């Protein structure tokens, strides 16, 4: 996942077109749909990591509540239920974070077990590019989802397409900002879909366009 909420001090073409509520809704919906079945990998933007943790926490709470409900069953019955239903949510999330931001990591970072720290390149642009290269080169991806964002969305889109040309790409243009630019200017015509532009029912959108294909 490549996503962020644009900052007002950055280029107006990102902030002025961003739908902040849609960005948050899309990230939460994506995590809610994907995490029970697949892994989400993302670069640790401080506007996004807390949203992923929010969803992860809901799964943990629901799992604990389920275990409490199942305490009425025998040990053998609970083992059967666990084998079918229970999963370790921590194995379904991987957070990449550049050490350039070490003094400003969001507190939610500490909640994740799979955190990959990448080298401080000496300046923000070099450091982020090192993180992107490591994240996109050392993993195999079935899909990339782009939500909101700033110039990094465009960079990551181009790099992802270069490294994973056969993977599914979903730029959720209704969230605006850089993702809308990617949809308008970079996405090939045969892959454009009106739902990317107009469908704000993100849970059903990801179920249909993502989960049915990976």
Phi first, then psi, for residue 38 (nearest 5°) are -135, 180
Q: What is the mean pLDDT of the chain?
A: 89
Percent of the chain with pLDDT over 70: 87
pLDDT of 42 over the 50 cut: yes
Residue 100's Cα: distance from chain center in Å?
21
Kindly state the DSSP code that residue 126 receives in the 8-state scheme: H
Helix (H), strand (E) at residue 152 = helix 151-163
Q: Which of 58, 56, 32, 24 is nearest to 206 (CA)?
A: 32
Phi first, then psi, for residue 31 (nearest 5°) are -65, -40
139-184 pLDDT per residue, tens: 999 999 999 999 999 999 999 999 999 999 999 999 999 999 999 9
Instruction: Report pLDDT for 10.
Output: 84
Contact by Cβ (8 Å): 93, 114: yes
Instruction: Report pLDDT for 9.
Output: 87
Pairing of strands 40-43, 2-4: unpaired
Instruction: Report pLDDT for 188.
Output: 94
pLDDT of 67 over the 80 cut: no
pLDDT of 64 over the 90 cut: no
Instruction: Report pLDDT for 84.
Output: 40
Helix (H), strand (E) at residue 103 = none
The C-alpha atoms of residue 186 and residue 158 are separated, in whole angstroms, by 8
93-139 pLDDT per residue, tens: 999 999 999 999 999 999 999 999 999 999 999 999 999 999 999 99
What Rg value do the Cα atoms of the chain yield, rounded?
A: 18
| Confidence tier at 15 by pLDDT (50, 70, 90) | very high
Instruction: Report pLDDT for 43.
Output: 95
């Amino acid at each position: 996942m490549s996503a962020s909420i644009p900052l007002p001090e950055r280029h107006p073409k990102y902030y002025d077109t961003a739908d902040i509520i849609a960005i948050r809704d899309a990230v939460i919906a994506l995590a809610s749909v994907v995490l029970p079945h697949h892994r989400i990998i993302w670069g640790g933007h401080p506007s996004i990591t807390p949203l992923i943790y929010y969803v992860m926490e809901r799964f943990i709470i629901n799992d604990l509540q389920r275990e409490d409900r199942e305490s009425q069953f025998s040990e053998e019955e609970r083992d059967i239920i666990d084998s079918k239903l229970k999963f370790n949510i921590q194995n379904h999330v991987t957070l990449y974070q550049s050490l350039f931001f070490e003094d400003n990591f969001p507190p939610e970072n500490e909640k994740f077990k799979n955190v990959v720290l990448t080298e401080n390149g000496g300046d923000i642009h070099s450091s982020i590019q090192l993180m992107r290269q490591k994240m996109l080169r050392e993993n195999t991806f079935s899909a990339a989802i782009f939500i909101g964002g700033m110039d990094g969305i465009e960079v990551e889109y181009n790099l992802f397409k270069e490294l994973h040309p056969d993977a599914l790409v979903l730029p959720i243009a209704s969230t605006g900002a850089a993702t809308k630019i990617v949809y308008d200017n970079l996405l090939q015509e045969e892959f454009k879909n009106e739902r990317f532009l107009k469908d704000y029912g993100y849970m059903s959108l990801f179920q249909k366009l993502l989960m049915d294909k990976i």
